[in-house]
Amino acid sequence: MPTILQKGNTYFAQKGSYFEGNVRIDGDFIVPAHTHFWGRLSVSGNLELGPRSSVALDIACWSAIIGSQCRVKGPVVAHGDVTVLDHAVVHSIQAGGKVILRPGVTVGDVMSAETIFVHGRIKSGKLTGKNMKVLGN
């Protein structure tokens, strides 16, 4: 069983951990690089998913930063903002806040209650938001 450390309302996973089944965190969750979840990931606070990490099913959280080259095979549902960093692959996004998509991202449909920012070239399904801003090439 991987170790999760707690400091106040923030939880930290160990680098390179593998989590079997579903994981629920009541607070913020900082996940280092190369950490893998083979089920659902539910975080009541903010999620920071480190580079080259993966989630086999869906993510539910308050807000999310999906690290570069991450793989999320299910939808990301967030009450607030979602940022997807370079070359990550995400099934779909539903956000109550703004969505930022960095260069090289591959994502299915994106729904945002606010603005969707696209930096550089991405591959995506339908993008639905209050506003859309495309920056860069």
Convert the pLDDT of each residue in 63-96 to its tens digit. Answer: 999 999 999 999 999 999 999 999 999 999 999 9
Residues near 54 by beta carbon (within 8 Å), at least 6 away in sequence: 36, 37, 70, 71, 72, 73
Cβ atoms of 130 and 117 within 8 Å: the answer is: no
Q: What is the pLDDT of residue 123?
A: 97
Which residue from 70, 73, 134, 72 is spatially nearest to 99, judged by alpha carbons?
Answer: 134
Residue 86 exposed, middle or buried by CB count within 10 Å (0-12, 13-18, 19+): middle
Convert the pLDDT of each residue in 29-51 to its tens digit. Answer: 999 999 999 999 999 999 999 99
Q: How far apart are CA 24 and CA 105, in angstroms?
A: 26
pLDDT at 1 over 60: no
